Amino acid sequence: MPSAVKSEEYDLLHFSERRPKICTEKLGRIAPKPVYEKVKRIFDLCFSLLLLVVLILPMLIIAVMIRLDSPGNPIYRQTRLGKNQKPFTIYKFRTMHLLAEQDGPRWAKPNDSRSTRLGRALRHAHLDELPQLINIIAGQMSFVGPRPERPEFYDVFDTYIDGFRQRMLVTPGLTGLAQVHGGYELLPEEKIIYDLEYIKNRSFSQDLHCIFLTFGLLITHKGAR
């Protein structure tokens, strides 16, 4: 497995020009797992509904705090690509100022100047991801799977990572194998290795293992940005 590498290259317009061409493993047609998929969906639906009931009050408090901390809607909406390259709207607590991407899309970086005061704390604790429980209930996401990326990012990564779109062979996740092994610390060419490993070997035990490790990250804040 690749080691985590911190990247200081956040300019998407020139990022691919500085990267060598990379060919990933070709999965082709992945083996169907109907029982696993159905049970996983039942787990996703039941667990997300339970968490939403338990966390609805804290989420409302966070939303009010965001609105008081900076102007704008506390819920941030963004287009991501899901299974089979189907676009959907992802929900997150807003952690940046309203004009954060006026110069175009960029990756978040450590101590990002675009973040609000409260936003930095939310990202550090991974609490900004809580609204994605709605995406899981809607079936657009799962608790475990490759993290969904923006269309603009796929367009860039495609220029130097052959096979990067294979990540969309399965439903994207709130957490995943790449997230528990580095998250934002990993480069795209490193993430794809973990994502393809997950897709090939997806199972109940691997999903539970990722969820267990994710709870550890919520305590250590490792991989947050």
State residue 159's pLDDT score: 85
The encoded tokens of residue 124 equal: 């550090």
Give the alpha-carbon dihedral of 108, 110, 111, 113, to 10 degrees: -30
State residue 34's pLDDT score: 94
Measured distance CA(77)–CA(80) in Å, rounded: 10
Kindly list the domain boundaries of the chain, sorted by start residue: 33-220
> Please, what is the end-to-end C-alpha distance for the chain in angstroms?
22
State residue 8's pLDDT score: 40
| pTM of the entire predicted model | 0.85
Burial of 18 (0-12, 13-18, 19+ CB in 10 A): exposed
Q: Which residues contact 121 (CB under 8 A, 6 or more apart)?
A: none
Q: Which residues contact 94 (CB under 8 A, 6 or more apart)?
A: 66, 70, 72, 73, 74, 75, 76, 116, 119, 128
Q: What is the pLDDT of residues 92-142, one digit of tens each?
A: 999 887 665 656 556 565 566 677 888 888 988 889 999 999 999 999 999
Residues of the chain with pLDDT under 50: 1-10, 225
State residue 6's pLDDT score: 38
- In order, the DSSP letters of 148-202 are P--HHHHHHHTTTEETGGGGGGS--EEE-TTGGGTGGGS-HHHHHHHHHHHHHH-
